[in-house]
A and B are shown apart, each in its own frame.
Chain A
Amino acid sequence: MKRISWFTLLMLLLALALVACGGSGDTEPETDSADTAADSSDTADSGDEAAAEELTCDDAIGCVEVAPGDPIRIASALVITGPNESLGLDSQYGVEIAIEQRGEIAGHSVELQAEDEGCNAEGGQTAGQKIASDPSIVGVIGTSCSGAGVPMSQIVCAEGIAMISPSNTAPVLTDPGSRQSCYFRTAHNDKVQGRAMAEYVFNELGLTKAAAVHDGDPYTEGLASVFRDAFIELGGEIVAFEAEAADATNVEPLLTSIAAAGPELIYYPVFIPLGSLITKTAREIDGLEGVALAAADGVQSPDFVDASGDAAEGMYVSGPDLGFGNDIYATFLETYQANYGTEPTAPFHAHAYDATNMLLSAIESVAQVGADGTMLIGRQALLDAISSTSGMEGITGTISCDENGDCADPKIAVSQVQDGAFSAVWSYEP
């Protein structure tokens, strides 16, 4: 009897969890885009043999074959769980909208397989291996975080799968010495973003002594370093260049160290958990009263403002300039609102939309379609097509890839947190 009652209690608890999960289920990403509508029954009998003769794969690194009626499969690898999920889900919505608007490519629908990269190297590796082991995947949109992008680009590029990131910004990913040949991005390079913040701080705010903090991740360390170099070049002084663990709980010692160096501004291009912790704690440390705070696009999310509360008020955040003002963006925002019932939660949905369109257009241009509807996509041909993308009109501007895989039309805006929202105060173009 007693045994049964404990078991019942456990079942009740599980049921409670299921109900809670179910309740939030409608905000979970929809992974299947459209039903496989390609109806090729009338063409199928006309030429099985002809198709086999006609389509031969002469690609250097192999082809993906899509059978008649099957969808073209692409993957996304974004951070869709955990404290940074607002960043990845926002991008995933951009991908989904691009796929929805594209409809079919030569009679094949496009299917999205959404993976999670967890915003860390381990997550990037896991997602990368999962994608690399699936020969039907043509290309990947991802990752969200540069830290995940480094291992993932190595894994998927070994299989020749095209990878376009909507929000990796670390310089190392497109550095000629370390870039993987299948890697592209529609996000700006942090060489631009770090420089923009340095110029804003030095020229517009007129501050000359700054401290920078990173967490050792390629994105944060790269951005902090670019800021440091640009700030020194402009004539400013970096009084402290510190690092803190991304999962730290107590940042008072860190900020006490920084306060002792006497900065006028602290720049901490980190992610939301550490970012909001620093923001809240900085207001309480002796010697940091009135010191300006600045961060970057890793925290540009309502979640960050919620977690930081009033302490975030007045701080500066750099990120992509979202004042696109074109018609594509207006339609996009309407669809976004209609499909997901919310305003965009992070700055990279437009980059994800453009990245997806870049990939789909490249697929469209290289795909060979047989008489029965079989589609062959050459992997090397696809990479070449992406890399020769030039003058494509996207939401984020005119997209043209350079030889290192940087395809963005980078425009940076510095926003200030005012009444709990990000208001753009300054914009920058290299």
Chain B
Amino acid sequence: MRRFNYIDLVLWLFRIGIIGVVLWGMTGKFILGIGNDYTISDWLDFFVSGLSQGSLYALIALGYTMVYGVLFMINFAHGEFFMAGAMTSTVLVALPLENAGYVERFPWLSLLAIFLSAVLTSVLVAVLTERIAYRPLRNAPRLVPLITAIGASFFWQYYFRGLFGSSLLPFPEFPMFDGKIAFWGLDFQKADIAVILTSLVVMFGLQQFVQRTKTGRAIRAVAENKDAATLMGIDVNRTITITFIVGASMAGVAGVLYSIVFRQLNFVMGFIPGIKAFTAAVLGGIGSIPGAALGGLFLGIIEAIGPPLFLEGLGVAGSHQLKDVIAFTMLVLVLIFRPQGIIGERLAEKKA
């Protein structure tokens, strides 16, 4: 017979407590009608907005998860790769193009230039960081590169503050993302839809790249076992650099998509999305590519729907301010009950 375990009891009480709060909140919302009265279209708006924010988290989370996959380190400077791409492409490409009137005349061409410059900058920053800050520490204890990553993150933040100043930068408005688009009689923001679609395409492309190409196979081999990969003739350093390049490109794409939706940037813009994307990567199971995508989408949606669904029914004032509480409660829950993340089983067992 199994011995009675206090920890199990506490965990069960915790589970029941959370379920109780959720049910109580939803009862308050739907049966007692506390708070605002939402229509189906309002709920869909919450959902789509969350999905669009979630796709950005997912794109950034992919970079975290890939680097973790090959190096077993949390690259806290990843949010700065995202910021570097967005800021540089805005200041050096988007704003000059807008002033010259190109954004209005050739919106698609301008957009392409902005995407290219953002990806290029993010990749450059990532490769430099890897080469200068991480590679010399490849064989150091695991805590050392982690602290270095935090240092690199501050370095890039203040580097770009020095370059572009610390005030808010506006991102130009693109005519094709302005306004709404109707699906099945419901209106959606064009910008949100564009972000969701682009992210899906990029994520699908990444999955194909990692599963189908030779380089992708090399990345997976290095993630599996570096020594064995070296014996098989894989250039480990090169593969790690490629991993950083791929992760940073997605951060660059996310940077431009972020600018399109939220249209304002400054040098600390990478911090919060970086932390959220890290959360998303852990939620989905760090090291797993589909896990990061799923975790990001899940986090974005729960942040948007959670406050009106759970908190408003409880009569919490200013519920939207507390969306981070919901996001991080989800993280704690996942870490307690499923430490390997939503779909991180196989990898986590080996690397824990």
Contacts and interface: CB of A to CB of B under 8 A. Distances in A.
A307 B168 contact: yes
Given A250-B53, A260-B42, A273-B264, A16 B163 contact: yes
Interface stretch (B2-10, B216-224, B239-247, B301-309): B301-309
A20 B305 CA distance: 43
B28 interface: no
Contacts of A272: 168
A106 interface: no
B226 interface: no
Contact of A243 (B164, B165, B179, B320): B320
B225 interface: no
B163 A83 contact: no
A256 B39 contact: no
Contacts of B307: 253, 257
Interface stretch (B43-51, B104-112, B204-212, B289-297): B43-51
A264 interface: no
Contacts of A277: 262, 264
Interface in A293-351: 303, 306-309
B159 interface: yes
A426 interface: no
B317 interface: yes
Contacts of A82: 166, 266, 268
Interface size of B as a range: 35 or more
A144 interface: no
Given A260-B37, A273-B168, A10 B128 contact: yes
A83 B46 CA distance: 28
Q: Is the interface of A mostly helix, strand, loop or mixed?
A: helix
A179 interface: no
B132 A249 contact: no
A245 B323 contact: yes
A91 interface: no
A305 B216 CA distance: 47
Interface string B116-134: 0000000000001001100
Given A83-B168, A257-B308, A260-B38, A250 B318 contact: no
Nearest to A285: B45
A26 to B, nearest CB: 13
Contact of A307 (B179, B264, B303, B323): B264
Interface residues of A, number: 50
Contacts of B187: 286
B278 to A, nearest CB: 15
B321 interface: yes
A191 interface: no
A257 B320 CA distance: 9
Contacts of B163: 16-17, 20
Contacts of B41: 286
Nearest to A216: B321
Q: Is the interface of B mostly helix, strand, loop or mixed?
A: helix
A256 B46 contact: yes
Interface in A234-262: 240-245, 247-254, 256-257, 259-261
A243 B303 contact: no
Contact of B321 (A244, A261, A273, A285): A244
Interface in B231-286: 258, 261-264, 266, 268, 272-273
Nearest to A7: B132
Contacts of A215: 321
A272 B300 CA distance: 24
Which of B37, B128, B168, B261 gathers most chain A CB within 10 Å? Answer: B168
Given A17-B159, A243-B317, A10 B132 contact: yes
A285 B45 CA distance: 9
A247 B162 contact: no
Contacts of B189: 252, 284
A6 B131 contact: yes
A13 interface: yes
A10 B320 CA distance: 43
Contacts of A273: 168, 264, 266
Contacts of A245: 321, 323-324
B36 interface: yes
A86 interface: yes
A252 B166 contact: no
Given A240-B36, A280-B263, A17 B162 contact: yes
B272 A247 contact: yes
Contact of B303 (A85, A250, A259): A250
A81 B273 contact: no
Contacts of B180: 284
Interface string A199-224: 00000000000000011100000000
A259 B43 CA distance: 12
Nearest to B320: A254
Interface in B137-195: 159, 162-170, 173, 179-180, 187, 189, 192
26 contacts: A10-B128, A13-B128, A13-B159, A18-B162, A24-B165, A81-B166, A242-B320, A243-B317, A244-B318, A247-B272, A250-B303, A253-B50, A253-B308, A253-B323, A254-B320, A256-B42, A257-B42, A260-B42, A261-B36, A273-B266, A276-B168, A284-B180, A286-B45, A306-B168, A306-B170, A307-B264
Given A250-B49, A307-B170, 5 more contacts: A82-B166, A252-B304, A257-B307, A303-B167, A303-B168
Interface of B: 36-39, 41-42, 45-46, 49-50, 52-53, 128, 131-132, 159, 162-170, 173, 179-180, 187, 189, 192, 258, 261-264, 266, 268, 272-273, 300, 303-305, 307-308, 312, 317-321, 323-324
